[in-house]
Structure 1
Amino acid sequence: MAVPATASVRDANRYRPATVTGLVDLIDVQVRERPYARALVVTGERVHLSYRGLSALADGVATRLGATGLSRGDAIGLIGANTAEFVVALLGAARAGLMVAPLDPALPLTQLSARVAALGARAVLLGRSAAGAPQPVANGASLPVPTWPLRVDVSRAGTAALTFTPGAAPAPEAMGAASELSVRDALVLFTAGTSERARMVPLTHANVAASVRTLCATYELGPEDATVAVMPFFHGHGLFAALLATLASGGCVLLPERGRFAAGSFWDDMRAVGATWFTAAPAIHEILLDRSEREYPGPQAPPLKFVRSGSAPLNPATQRALERTFGVPLLSAYGMTESSHQAASEPLPGRGALKHGSVGRPTGVEVRVLDRGGRACPVGVEGELWVHGPTVARGYLGDRDETASTFVDGWLRTGDLGVLDEDGYLSLTGRIKNLINRGGEKISPEHVEDILAGCPGVAEAAVFAVPDPVYGQRVGAAVVVRDGESVGTGEILRYCRDRLAAFEVPDRLELVAALPYTAKGALDRKAVQARYAP
């Protein structure tokens, strides 16, 4: 791919690797060396909060948590949107020696309660919830542990005030998975899924530091960089890539007024903070592309250096269209909660070739492609991806069987299928558990989706298994057509027949208005299956 003329490699002398050991000292260097530099931009008035101000608020939280009776190494939950309260609570709890489990504020009370109980959290900190999302623990609604509201108010002058009055923590109980944690742990992140299936991933301060350092090095982030928080902080994508890496490198994060992504105000936010990059899931990139003709500010756009995509595969056609619109490279990245977010990424221009359709090369970890017998696959041969390195978690809390099958001798079995090329670039081909078995032919829904999305007029597609008495399973597809386009099912199927094996062409194709997505921006395959397969 030809690198856009506006993209350039930053002067290597200006980039300095992040020096952190975990959440506790994440912003210490900035507080010492650049105390009045902006760390966050908050509220609808886009007020600046300095690193010194952020640190003082975090210290206030730590001091008050220390008086509750909680002990170092105890686990607490954190419920909130992408607001100053979330950031202050996270850093303050870390400074108090506590382990933090961010929770999705949109979950119903039953699921929140189940996750808090499964973890064995001793209390829950409450920030502001995203506008429009349920607030199940507001107004005294009960979780199984004390809930302590926290509020941060920032004046136009940048002066911040903390309102936080936690009560006494209850006596610890020998329940939940918190007994498996120690003072070395920083976070517990929940994988995508329902409360019954979501797994708890413990990440140490060393895991966090390794992830942050890798992200900063991969994208050469520094004090001159700024971004807008698009992805939610209760998942690794938003937490590590947008928030923690930016703060560790001395940059600035704008937190949208309502604590979540809003397409209508996105470019105003980007210009307000002088954003140099942003990261998002493909679903959000698709939204920005669809609205770009009427909303992208063109010459008035901020001076972007690159754009990043993660959490799900990005269609190469969309990737190229976005690059033409933004005038900078769009870098695909790959990772998992169990690997502290990123495991591979396309490189910055000048740091390696851009191979769209791939997710780049391993970053900070070793990646192997192994066959079913555990043997290394030759170049270009598909196999399961295994990851090893300092960002890989030690296992799952409270689930020995799944830990034993997923974490093997320090290696993470990702469950993802892929191939490595001769230059070490990784291309994803699907998920093992998603494969459709049509009469013995194994079909990757992700591959079929990629072809469907390349059809002119198609915005996005979801492919799923349809039960069949003869073949076992057939291929079904739900397709969203772009606004203003009139492409029909016959045209889409003809496009597929020219590009897919006969057994891969969807037997059932339905045009739909929208597809369901998870909170982290990935296609919700369970919801797709339930909605369209019967």
Structure 2
Amino acid sequence: MAVPAAASVRDADRYRPPRVTGLVDLLDRQVRDRPYARALVVTGERVQLSYRALASLADEVAARLGGAGLGRGDAVGLICANTAEFVVALLGAARAGLVSAPLDPALPASQLSSRLTALGARAVLLDASASGRDVMLPVPAWSLRVDVSGAGAGAGAGAAVLELEPGVCDSAQVQGAALELSERDALVLFTAGTTDRAKMVPLTHANVAASLRTICATYELGPEDATVAVMPFFHGHGLFAALLSSLASGGCVLLPERGRFSAGTFWDDMRAVDATWFTAVPAIHEILLERSEREYPGPQAPPLKFVRSCSAPLNTATQRALERTFGAPLLSAYGMTESSHQATSEPLPQRGALRQGSVGRPTGVAVRVVDRGGRSCPAGVEGEVWVQGPTVARGYLADGDESARTFVDGWLRTGDLGALDEDGYLSLTGRIKNLINRGGEKISPEHVEDILAGCPGVAEAAVFAVPDAVYGQRVGAAVVVREPDGAGREEILRYCRDHLAAFEVPDRLDLVAALPYTAKGGLDRKAVQARYAS
């Protein structure tokens, strides 16, 4: 069953998404129509930067980069937290015709180096958090500092200081991935997974523009909206859904102090910017919910239009609790790096019904659910989720074999299992590669985790395969309980027996203090397997 892109947005005449063609003209309309409107709120002092000031800073950096020996289509790395430096570097590089590759500043030096080398980057831009590290990189590292000390509440002036070392990486030495890039490309994002072998996803300016138009249209974002950057910008979730969609629609983004999410200052940040929405992964939603009794400001909190969740499954119990606490609908979305982030989302309440357990309808793409033979499954039948549309990347850089396996006849094979209902709403049931094979019975760890999370007293859970000589694999679970009313092991197992098939009930259940998470905020299944499965 396939759902066409046209089904993703209804009553389109009531909202006009921004007319952007990519990162290069992302700010242009706002600079023309609303030059002194706030674009960013930055630093611990919460200084406002206007659209005019942000564009001026980006142009300043673009001129410096263009005069430093870089050619159009060259790749540069960005190693920055969620800071003004990241935003200025990204937009400045785009205006200079360069391709930006954001990297996680927390990666070890060896992994940063291997990614820059695989990409064929000719230089890397660093903010203060990264430039202070004693790290040897294979390309020239240029420090960027954005000085907002002269910014006023209205005009929002500022200055960019880019410290260029002599020369850039010799273009004759650039190999592999960089040879596949051109000035049509805007970004190269690294997929989550095995960090030393992360795949490189090239996204064109057209991919970016299509993604931003559909995200803005889905949530009807406009100049009156504001948000706090919770997710890191080196992944698609924070980059597309929070930062770029806000700037494209004329809204405002607050960048927390030191460029990192802090649960302790989150609600103060939300009030400071009069936020109307925010987006996060389930792990962060759980943290905010856990702390809400003592930290949520109640009537003093800014009224929210919606809250968004993406990048990992959110259990239904948490979703409903968040809606009751924050007084706003929680909209689940689904996306991946290869589709320029968002592929489906639950609609705003005025645009359609919310479906329990669903990640919504397609947004600007077509979605199919197919069986092992590549045939479309009927409504309600589980299969692999495939995505096609203008946001989908052309393949992976320097990895033809993996591209051929993943991108088939214009369709992106996501590796996710799910089903479409009669109205085109998608429900996800797990990852193909995560399935546990217990004596021939295929078990979705995500399904078992969702049941465990519904057990009273359980905060979060991770389910994994335990090797077994008889069955091949058995079901293991690591569970974090809430204190002081946390459930005991036997109580949790009784709950599982009442809500799961007998073969799905964990054969081993460990109570643990915390679970490991990736930098993106999703459950680190490789770490879970290594830590608990032996």
After TM superposition, the score normalised by the length of structure 2 is 0.95
Q: By how many angstroms is 1:140 displaced?
A: 5.8
Distance 2:133 2:45 in 1: 27
Structure 1 residues 95-494: aligned runs within 5 Å: 95-129=95-129, 135=130, 138=132, 141-155=135-149, 157=152, 158-167=156-165, 168-172=167-171, 173-494=173-494
Does the aligned pair in 2 maintain the 1:190–1:198 contact within 8 Å?
yes
1:322 is paired with a residue whose SS is: helix
Q: By how many angstroms is 1:13 displaced?
A: 8.3
Distance 1:159 1:529, change over 3 A: same
1:246 is paired with a residue whose SS is: helix
Which residue identity lines up with residue 413 of structure 1 in the other structure? R
Q: Which stretch of the first structure deviates more once superposed, 170-179 or 324-333?
A: 170-179
Q: By how many angstroms is 1:189 displaced?
A: 0.2
Structure 1 residues 51-70: aligned runs within 5 Å: 51-70=51-70
Does the aligned pair in 1 maintain the 2:334–2:342 contact within 8 Å?
yes
Does the aligned pair in 2 maintain the 1:334–1:359 contact within 8 Å?
yes
Count residues in correspondence: 518
State the Cα deviation string for residues 265-315 of structure 1 (Å, max 9, x = none): 000000000000000000000000000000000000001100000000100
Q: By how many angstroms is 1:211 displaced?
A: 0.2
1:263 is paired with a residue whose SS is: coil
Distance 1:70 1:291, change over 3 A: same
Q: Which residue does 1:6 correspond to in 2?
A: none
Distance 1:102 1:340 in 2: 14
Q: By how many angstroms is 1:12 displaced?
A: 8.6
Distance 2:440 2:107 in 1: 39
Q: By how many angstroms is 1:193 displaced?
A: 2.2
State the Cα deviation string for residues 220-265 of structure 1 (Å, max 9, x = none): 0000000000000000000000000000000000000120110000
Distance 1:104 1:174 in 2: 22
Distance 1:435 1:92 in 2: 44
Distance 2:133 2:196 in 1: 26
Distance 1:28 1:317 in 2: 43
Distance 2:266 2:351 in 1: 29
Distance 1:210 1:355, change over 3 A: same
Distance 1:109 1:195 in 2: 12
1:247 is paired with a residue whose SS is: helix
State the Cα deviation string for residues 473-523 of structure 1 (Å, max 9, x = none): 000000011132231010000000001000000000001111011111110
Does the aligned pair in 2 maintain the 1:443–1:504 contact within 8 Å?
yes
2:102 is paired with a residue whose SS is: strand
Which residue identity lines up with residue 139 of structure 2 in the other structure? V
Q: Which stretch of the first structure deviates more once superposed, 15-24 or 73-82?
A: 15-24
Distance 2:314 2:452 in 1: 13
Q: Which residue does 2:6 correspond to in 1?
A: none
2:350 is paired with a residue whose SS is: coil
Distance 2:426 2:110 in 1: 40
Does the aligned pair in 1 maintain the 2:77–2:101 contact within 8 Å?
yes
Q: By how many angstroms is 1:166 displaced?
A: 1.8
Does the aligned pair in 1 maintain the 2:122–2:174 contact within 8 Å?
no
Distance 1:202 1:356 in 2: 34
Q: Which residue does 1:50 correspond to in 2?
A: 50
1:143 is paired with a residue whose SS is: coil
After TM superposition, the score normalised by the length of structure 1 is 0.95
2:57 is paired with a residue whose SS is: helix
Q: By how many angstroms is 1:403 displaced?
A: 0.2
Which residue identity lines up with residue 162 of structure 2 in the other structure? F
Distance 2:246 2:432 in 1: 34
Q: Which residue does 1:3 correspond to in 2?
A: none
Q: By how many angstroms is 1:161 displaced?
A: 1.6
Distance 1:12 1:205, change over 3 A: closer
Which residue identity lines up with residue 263 of structure 2 in the other structure? A
Distance 1:421 1:165 in 2: 55
Q: By how many angstroms is 1:139 displaced?
A: 5.7
Q: By how many angstroms is 1:174 displaced?
A: 3.8
2:207 is paired with a residue whose SS is: helix
Does the aligned pair in 2 maintain the 1:127–1:150 contact within 8 Å?
yes
Question: Identity, % of aligned pairs?
Answer: 81
Distance 1:224 1:317 in 2: 31
Does the aligned pair in 1 maintain the 2:50–2:157 contact within 8 Å?
no
State the Cα deviation string for residues 365-395 of structure 1 (Å, max 9, x = none): 0000000011111111100000000000000
Distance 2:420 2:335 in 1: 16
Which residue identity lines up with residue 521 of structure 2 in the other structure? G
1:222 is paired with a residue whose SS is: coil
Does the aligned pair in 1 maintain the 2:367–2:386 contact within 8 Å?
yes
1:498 is paired with a residue whose SS is: helix
Structure 1 residues 68-107: aligned runs within 5 Å: 68-107=68-107
Gaps of 5+ in 1: 1-10, 130-134
Distance 1:270 1:483 in 2: 28
Which residue identity lines up with residue 22 of structure 2 in the other structure? G
1:124 is paired with a residue whose SS is: strand
Distance 1:404 1:278 in 2: 36
Does the aligned pair in 2 maintain the 1:371–1:383 contact within 8 Å?
yes
Distance 1:356 1:223 in 2: 31
Distance 2:87 2:137 in 1: 22
1:258 is paired with a residue whose SS is: helix
Distance 1:475 1:298 in 2: 41
Distance 1:139 1:438, change over 3 A: closer
2:419 is paired with a residue whose SS is: strand
State the Cα deviation string for residues 327-380 of structure 1 (Å, max 9, x = none): 110000000000000000000011010012100001000000000011111111
1:159 is paired with a residue whose SS is: coil
Distance 1:188 1:77, change over 3 A: same
Which residue identity lines up with residue 127 of structure 2 in the other structure? G
Does the aligned pair in 2 maintain the 1:16–1:222 contact within 8 Å?
no
Q: By how many angstroms is 1:141 displaced?
A: 3.0
Cα RMSD for the two superposed structures? 1.2
The alignment status of 1:497 with 2:491, answered yes or no, reads no
1:93 is paired with a residue whose SS is: helix
Which residue identity lines up with residue 419 of structure 1 in the other structure? A
Q: Which stretch of the first structure deviates more once superposed, 190-199 or 329-338?
A: 190-199
Which residue identity lines up with residue 238 of structure 1 in the other structure? G
Q: Which stretch of the first structure deviates more once superposed, 189-198 or 265-274?
A: 189-198
Distance 2:422 2:356 in 1: 15
